[in-house]
Structure 1
Amino acid sequence: MSRSHSVASSRRPNGHGIPRPATSLDTHDEEDSAATVLGKRKGAEWDQESREKTMEDLMNTFVTKMSQAGQESTGMKEALELYKSRVSELEASRKEITDMNLSLRVEMESLKVRLGASEDALKDAQREHEMEIDEIGSRQRRELESARFDAKRELESLASQHQEEIRELKRRFDHEMEDERAARLREISQMTSQTAIDTQKTNMELERKEREITTLHNDMQALRAELERERKSNRDLRQNLDTASSNSVTMESSVRALKARIEFLESGREEQSQAFERLNQQMMDALAETNATKDKLRKEETLRRKLHNQVQELKGNIRVFCRVRPSLPSDPPTGSAQIQYPDETEDSKEIAVLGPEEKSSLGTITRKNSNFSFDRVFGPSTQNAEVFDEISQLVQSALDGYNVCIFCYGQTGSGKTYTMSSLDGMIPRAVHQIYETATGLEEKGWRYTMEGNFVEVYNENLNDLLGNPEELDKKKLDIRHDMQRGKTIITDVTTVRLESPEMVETILKRAASNRSVAATKANERSSRSHSVFILKLIGENDITGERSEGTLNLVDLAGSERLSHSGATGERLKETQNINRSLSCLGDVIAALGQGKEGGHIPYRNSKLTYLLQFSLGGNSKTLMFVMVSPLQAHLAETLTSLKFATKVHNTHIGTAKRQARVRDS
């Protein structure tokens, strides 16, 4: 059992999966076992049988071992063959690996040689490249210095030439301005002289009539006094005569003389009475002529009002003026847009805005120009006085009992507030003209009362600019309309009785002060809100019984910048959105009025601004729009947008205005 186990264990596979061959070492255990048996038997009987049996056992054992040794030999041979085959394979693999290793070493040596050559070539190329870069850098520095020197010299030349051109243009411009100013002054002087002459003639005629009446009246009073003195003297003489007659006959001569004197005085009294009657008749004739003249003047005033407003209606109840503000010292010197005035020497109704030059793929240079036409175009050199001359007729219409609205439209910085609210702007000039005209109408029986309000529309809220500044943006004002009378009422608003033109300057300063207080809490209010100056004119004629009620609205609109270009955020974004919405609503209202549909819907309620101006924008009113234009190239896009909007307004007809007048109840 132990032997078979030993043989089995000797043939277990080794680490290579090949069974180990059996050797003579594997039989040591069996031999030791046999010796032990023989030793045990030495003590036994040594007889023939036992010896034979022992030999037989030994022989069997030997045969068995020989059989096993043969089997082991066969296994050893097979294993040897396997080992030889494996050794051959390993030898072939080793040789293949050796050959591959040798090939790789050769290739590596070759690569080392090539790498060294490449590094040398790279270093040479790097040195050449650095030398070339140094050479190019030196050459470029020399060329740059040369170009810089040439450019500097050319720039100095151009600057000198440009300065010379500027001086020449300035001299020419100053000369032209002086000529234009002199021509304007001559025209104004001629017009003023002619007006003064006409006024003086009328005043002289009236003064002459008044002097004649005064002279006749004084003569009549003097004759009455003389007649009374003569009568008193006559009574005294009669008394003296009676006394003298009773005293003495010696006084007869005196009596006769006195009688002669009395007779003379009696005849003089008749002549004086006749002269008094003649003077009295002359005075009555002069008074009748004066009354007839005044009646004629009243009729002529009524006819003048009628003809004046007919002329305004022929011009259109909605008119558009364009004004280009002059360049300011703070403006960039080379940033002016190219604006032309084709009919500047004629009607001054056209304006052309030249776009930037564009070069096509064929090299052709083109320029996109935009031409616009309005009722009047004012260039940068126009003063406020000349502008007001054009709108003064509309101010007169307000005195005649019409609703008039004048508003300025344009982007921030285009001159709206300067045109409206400066010391010589439209608001002060309008009030001065109204006072002067009202004073002249007093002799025709007219008496006027004037009341003013000043409000602003900020973020769709109405604020009182003449009230308490602490209540600005807090006090709620409501707009109410009297549809029967066509009147607008603002609740809780401050109303100022304008007793003199100087009061206008006071309320303008007050409104500006309130807006500046509000500006510390928000943004610059003058450009972020709409301001509306409302002047109510109530006239009564004691002679004819007429009564007129007119309203003049002077509106400074907020800046018209588009939201995409304003870059506004936060509170400024809300302001811009409200401004754009109210200006858009203004355009919608004017467009709806222009359609002229009977009973058509007019969207006045879409914004506070249009709702406030409801009775001053419709067909019963007269409207003038100022489109204000900035001269800067940077504002060109906004300028074109403003001019296009003004063109739409200019093409709108809103019907015939109606006068708010009636005969006063007796």
Structure 2
Amino acid sequence: MEVAQRRNRYEVEDKQRAHKLEMDELRHEFKGEVDQLKREHREALEAMERRHRAELADEQTHKSRELQELRIRLGAEQQDLNLELLKKEREIQDMRSQVEALRSDLDREQTLKGALKQKITEMEATNMTLEERMRGLQDQVAFLESGSKQQADSFANMQARLQEALRIAEEARQKLIKEETERRVLFNKYQELKGNIRVMCRVRPVLDPSEGETAKITFPDTKTSSQIDVTGPEEKSSLGVINRKVLPFEFDRVFDPSVHNEEVFGEISQLVQSALDGYNVCIFCYGQTGSGKTYTMSSGDGMIPRATHMIYDNITKLQEKSWTYTMEGSFVEVYNEELHDLLAPGRESDPKKRLEIRHDEARKQTTVLNCKTVALDSPDKVEAMLKQAQNNRSVAATKANERSSRSHSVFILKLVGENSATNERCEGTLNLVDLAGSERLKHSQAEGERMKETQNINKSLACLGDVIEALGRGSAHVPYRNSKLTHLLQYSLGGNSKTLMFVMVSPLEAHLKETITSLRFATKVSYSKRC
């Protein structure tokens, strides 16, 4: 057993030594193969790195070349823009010079007109004196017919002097009529230089302290301001600090909350005169619900009553220049992209009497078929018509305002004038528009039928902005037919018509976002008219 165990132990030790030798040989072989693989992998990595470095260098060269070309192109475009800007500035300077020249001409014509009026007044006084003397002379006719040659000669002399005075008075009247015609031409040129499209801003006052805090709205110069600065909502800066951004907006005129309707009407009275002179005029108020649109347009001393009173006064004065006028008014609303007659509600239920828009291309006039028109021969009729239309207008409650106008109301005043002395004829239209409140759906929280109304209102307002923008650019196609509102006002927005937009804003902090939205829309219109 001991011999067998020794033999077995020796065999095990021999096998262990053989196995160890075999393992050492395998390790040596594997180490060589691993080293070979490492060398091959390292060489492959180095080759790949060299290739990528070459490709990266090529790409950087290509990008550098493209960047250089882009810089050259941007530099050329910047130079072209600078040249175009200089050209526009020279054109603006030329237009300002023309405006100043026309203002001088207008002042001279007004001075001449005043002198002629004074002369006519003197002539009328002379005529009255001559008529009194003529009546006295008629009492002496019997005596003059007695055959006394001296008295007959005296009567003939007086009669000749009377005829001469009448001739001079007629010449003065004809000259005044001619001056009125020339005044219309010069006045229209002056209005065109001021701009056929104008944008003004009015900030309503705080009506009640319980309305809430006011937003920060400032005017650089309260007397001659055409700019309004609004402090926008809070926003984070690049450093993470909350700040408030000041947003400047510039218009043709800005009215602060202390301004009354009388001063506002002073800005639009010239456009009312243009309507009397035979041009189409459109004046509309835009803004969110409760910003003062209806107050500005239809209140007791609003633009509509003041405009009609001014027209009546001027018609009376123009009668001495041989002008006679007829005036007709109608009142319609655009509600959910449908026309309704505010003076005869319920007629639209009859398909045969539904309102339809008809355009006369030759006369540049618009007619609304089946719409009731009222002959306006006194201010009282205008006030009664306004009251009736306001009672029939579509109003509804929204979350933005308890009594919100949900339609666009359009007061259409047609003026037709004829001159019996010169056979001149003029036909103008004055459109005074109170637009529906412009609320975002998120702010108004409208639902159901109210949401549909808000969507239609916002669509028509957007179409109105697109039309004015296209007119400002001089586009060959103006999308009047995209909404009923712009289709109705087609001949009062384009061509030689005059358009004035009032953007009405609220001073309250709660309405700040809506205020900024309204001002941005108006700025878009104001910018398009300068393009």
Q: 1:317 aligns with which of 158, 172, 196?
A: 196
The offset of 1:303, in angstroms, is 1.6
2:6 is matched with: none
Amino acid at match of 2:122: R
Asked whether the 8 Å contact 2:396–2:406 carries over to 1, the reply is no
Residue 471 of structure 2 corresponds to residue 557 of structure 1: no
* Residues in 1 aligned to 2:288 and 2:138: alpha-carbon distance in whole angstroms: 75
* Residues in 1 aligned to 2:310 and 2:238: alpha-carbon distance in whole angstroms: 59
* Residues in 1 aligned to 2:259 and 2:309: alpha-carbon distance in whole angstroms: 20
Q: 2:130 aligns with which of 180, 199, 216?
A: 216
Query: Which one has a bigger Cα radius of gyration?
Result: 1
Asked whether the 8 Å contact 1:318–1:654 carries over to 2, the reply is no
* Residues in 1 aligned to 2:517 and 2:309: alpha-carbon distance in whole angstroms: 34
* Residues in 2 aligned to 1:316 and 1:229: alpha-carbon distance in whole angstroms: 68
* Residues in 2 aligned to 1:542 and 1:601: alpha-carbon distance in whole angstroms: 40
The offset of 1:200, in angstroms, is 9.8
1:103 is matched with: none
* Residues in 2 aligned to 1:213 and 1:532: alpha-carbon distance in whole angstroms: 47
Q: 1:482 to 1:274 in 2, by over 3 A?
A: same
Q: 1:379 aligns with which of 241, 256, 260?
A: 256
Comparing 374-383 with 215-224, greater Cα deviation is found at 215-224
Q: How does 1:288-437 map to 2 (within 5 A)?
A: 288-329=167-208, 331-333=210-212, 335-345=213-223, 347-356=224-233, 366-437=243-314
* Residues in 1 aligned to 2:240 and 2:361: alpha-carbon distance in whole angstroms: 64
The offset of 1:427, in angstroms, is 0.3
Q: What does the per-residue CA deviation read over 1:110-155, in whole Å, with 9 as the maximum and x for residues that have no partner?
A: xxxxxxxxxxxxxxxxxxxxxxxxxxxxxxxxxxxxxxxxxxxxxx
Q: How does 1:414-563 map to 2 (within 5 A)?
A: 414-467=291-344, 469-471=345-347, 476-515=354-393, 527-563=405-441
Residue 501 of structure 2 corresponds to residue 625 of structure 1: yes
Q: 1:222 to 1:367 in 2, by over 3 A?
A: same
* Residues in 1 aligned to 2:114 and 2:363: alpha-carbon distance in whole angstroms: 40
> Which is bigger in relative contact order (C-alpha 8 A, separation at least 6)?
2
Asked whether the 8 Å contact 1:461–1:473 carries over to 2, the reply is no
Q: What does the per-residue CA deviation read over 1:537-557, in whole Å, with 9 as the maximum and x for residues that have no partner?
A: 000001000000000000000
Q: 1:279 aligns with which of 136, 142, 158?
A: 158
Query: What TM-score do the two structures reach when normalised by structure 2?
Result: 0.74
Q: 1:296 to 1:654 in 2, by over 3 A?
A: farther
The structure carrying a bigger helix percent of its residues is: 1
The offset of 1:482, in angstroms, is 1.5
Query: What TM-score do the two structures reach when normalised by structure 1?
Result: 0.59
Work out the number of aligned pairs and report it: 416
Asked whether the 8 Å contact 2:113–2:176 carries over to 1, the reply is no
* Residues in 2 aligned to 1:212 and 1:357: alpha-carbon distance in whole angstroms: 74
Amino acid at match of 1:628: M
The offset of 1:362, in angstroms, is 6.1
Residue 478 of structure 2 corresponds to residue 602 of structure 1: yes
2:515 is matched with: 639
Specify every segment of 5 or more residues in structure 1 that has no aligned partner in the other structure, as ranges.
Answer: 1-196, 235-265, 656-666
* Residues in 2 aligned to 1:337 and 1:607: alpha-carbon distance in whole angstroms: 34
* Residues in 2 aligned to 1:353 and 1:519: alpha-carbon distance in whole angstroms: 30
Residue 490 of structure 2 corresponds to residue 611 of structure 1: no
* Residues in 2 aligned to 1:227 and 1:585: alpha-carbon distance in whole angstroms: 77
Q: What does the per-residue CA deviation read over 1:541-575, in whole Å, with 9 as the maximum and x for residues that have no partner?
A: 01000000000000000111112322111000100
Specify every segment of 5 or more residues in structure 2 that has no aligned partner in the other structure, as ranges.
Answer: 1-110
Asked whether the 8 Å contact 1:216–1:279 carries over to 2, the reply is no
The offset of 1:205, in angstroms, is 4.6
2:4 is matched with: none
Q: CA RMSD in A?
A: 2.6
Q: What does the per-residue CA deviation read over 1:455-491, in whole Å, with 9 as the maximum and x for residues that have no partner?
A: 0000111000001x44467762111112222111111
| Percent identity for Structure 1 against Structure 2 | 61
Residue 457 of structure 2 corresponds to residue 579 of structure 1: yes
Asked whether the 8 Å contact 2:285–2:434 carries over to 1, the reply is yes
The structure carrying a bigger strand percent of its residues is: 2
* Residues in 2 aligned to 1:604 and 1:310: alpha-carbon distance in whole angstroms: 26
* Residues in 1 aligned to 2:169 and 2:389: alpha-carbon distance in whole angstroms: 47
